[in-house]
Amino acid sequence: MFGFLNVYKPSGMTSHDVVAVLRRVSKIKQIGHTGTLDPFAEGVLPVCIGKATRLIEYLNDEKAYIGTVQLGSSTTTYDNEGDKVNTSGKKANPEEIEAALKDFRGEIEQLPPIYSAIKVKGKKLYEYAREGKEVEITPRRVTISKLEIVDFNYETQEVSLLIECSKGTYIRSIANDLGEKLETYGHLTKLTRIKAGDFEIKNAVKLDNLDTIEKIRQNLIYPTEKLHFPVYELTEEEKIKVSNGMPIRACRHFPDSQLILLNFNNKLAAIAKTDKQQLRCEKVFI
């Protein structure tokens, strides 16, 4: 089995839980996911099956979310699973929120939550937090390409945001930092990933609907549908060379350092990179 699944991860499960379920159903060990979702979050989780796990690095990794922020209080984890640490009776209005959001758009430096899996000196941040130890957290540069108010309730001080961002962005940090910017505090209460690269929520399959190997096969997406690189169809002779990891000379021009999908009989045989009209294999699948 070779391909991707667009899985809808339910809240209450980790991304690794989803992979474990699919391994149990399919009896395939070589399964991995792209872009971890926190347990309380739900939505799009791209899953790679079989040799498709070797294609993760080539997938578009931009993300889109709908996140609900509760203003008026902050927590240790920056979401509703942590202990409350600060509260405020101040109420923000839509104009204040919109003005504050301007500072979060574009390329920004973001401090990850202390309760996260990022490693510092070989140890995950949440391990330091659970031990009550302080550790220096280095800001990370991320890009927020879109940040808009979807809904706002003045009375409850709940604001829903549409966020389109680069890989590695913590929506929990946006919730916490927005609250601090508004001087009201804030934490994330709900998070739905609506897009991960080319995988969209409207096409996501619920995990309950992948309970047999036949259903997994029916929903499998062939890799070339999600890999947007030029395609080069191999001859029989070229296919033999590629299967042995040998470079071939392209019979048409490609720019240098261009990634190329090498197909044989319309099936992905390898991914290559151009080098002075030589196609040199990076990953071989036959």
| Tokens at 220, concatenated | 């499998």
DSSP string, the chain: --EEEEEEEPTTS-HHHHHHHHHHHH--S-EEESS---TT-EEEEEEEEGGGGGGGGGS---EEEEEEEEETEEETTSBTTS-EEEE------HHHHHHHHGGGSEEEEEPPPSSS--EETTEEHHHHHHTT-------EEEEEEEEEEEEEETTTTEEEEEEEE-TT--HHHHHHHHHHHHTS-EEEEEEEEEEETTEEGGG-EEGGG--SHHHHHHTPBPGGGT--S-EEEPPHHHHHHHHTT--EE-SS---TT-EEEEEETTEEEEEEEEETTEEEEEEE--
Give me the catalytic one of 17, 38, 61, 208: 38
- Specify whether 177 is catalytic: no
**Which residues are identified as catalytic?**
38
